[in-house]
Amino acid sequence: MSLKVLFAGTPEMAVPSLVAVAKQYPVVGVLTSPDQEVGRGRKTVPSPVKQKARELGLLVITPEKLDGTVREQVGSLSPEILVVVAYGKIFGPRFLSLFPRGGINLHPSLLPRYRGPSPIPAAILGGDPATGITIQKLALQMDAGPILLQEVIPLNGTETTASLTELCAERGAELLLRVLEGIETGTVKEIPQDEDQATYCKLITKDDGKIQWSTPAVQIERMVRAYDPWPAAWTLYQGAVLKILKASVFHPSKKGEKEGKVIGVDKEKGILVQTGEGILAIHKLQLQARKVLDFASFLNGERDFIGSILGA
């Protein structure tokens, strides 16, 4: 007899897991965030998980909070296990008690490293040689439950949050199925996390993307990748927001120039900007309310860019 699943998730990253689980197990309901207003027109848009759940003909529940009414509704579905992928809310003890087999959660890091809401950007910002995916048993403390399965993902220093999220979404769906099968057969093993090794990451804000040009070029290049697609690494140019969308560290370095100064252009690498340590070469950028451009096209429209000071 297959486990009756309540699936909880919200963003695009959770969609592959929902599809995979729904193919193999009876999903009695899908818990996701309420529709959000987006854009200037404040159009109401359902979460990616809600859209996919509707396509699959599944019951969708979109509560503002997990109160007694929601617990009653979920309880009436008689779920056996809770499967969570980036739902966005913390589950309390009364909610978790509804599931005889407990709950499992997909977390895109090698727990106990990077507990919290932004593990993928954190791994890129940290220059880590590897990250990974952890399937863990849900606990009351965030991301602290026993590890059920882990997979290491080597990093080569070119990954963006967008590309790494997509990879974790696809691989994570497969790992979830392996854990569910192990729970059914009683073969899954629980490995407690080492609390002494726990590190944490925070919720990212738009201001996190603001470039301080006194920072080394290596770190700014990591910011560009870590904050793709949001909030993007950005600076100010003539009072307007300038997003840096693709960049690399340029060698050789040059000394004596002011941090943030656009010191020249390399025909292959891009626009060269002095940083606190080394030079950043900008390949792709976007000025506020304009299109995304490669560096050559951008310079054609901004003749005075070379020599300007960014961030001022």
Quickly list DSSP for 152-193: EEE--S---HHHHHHHHHHHHHHHHHHHHHHHHHT----B--
**Do 109 and 248 belong to one domain?**
no
For residues 169 and 281, state if they share a domain. Answer: no
94 in a structural domain:
yes
Same domain for 109 and 169?
Answer: yes
Structural domain ending residue among the three candidates 197, 231, 258 = 197
Residue 277's domain is classified under what CATH number? 3.10.25.10
Is position 17 within any domain?
Answer: yes
CATH code of the domain in which 164 resides? 3.40.50.170
- Residue 309 inside a domain? The answer is no
Residue 308 within any structural domain of the chain: no
Q: Round to whole Å and give the CA distance between 85 and 173.
A: 9
Give this prediction's pTM. 0.94
- pLDDT, one tens digit per residue, over 143-165 is 999 999 999 999 999 999 999 99
113 and 94 within one domain: yes
Q: What is the pLDDT of residue 42?
A: 81
Which residue range forms the structural domain that includes residue 234?
Answer: 206-301
Looking at the 3D structure of the chain, how many domains does it have? 2
Give residue-wise pLDDT tens across range 218-269. 999 999 999 999 999 999 999 999 999 999 999 866 677 899 999 999 999 9
- The verdict on 114 and 14 lying in the same domain is yes
Are the C-beta atoms of residues 166 and 159 closer than 8 Å to each other? Answer: no
Picking from 136, 169, 197, the residue at the C-terminal end of a domain is 197
Residue after which a domain boundary falls, among 137, 164, 197: 197
Claim to verify: residue 165 and residue 222 sit in the same structural domain = no
Show the low-confidence residues of the chain (pLDDT under 70): 1, 252-254
Together in a domain, 212 and 190: no
Residues 35 and 17 in one domain: yes
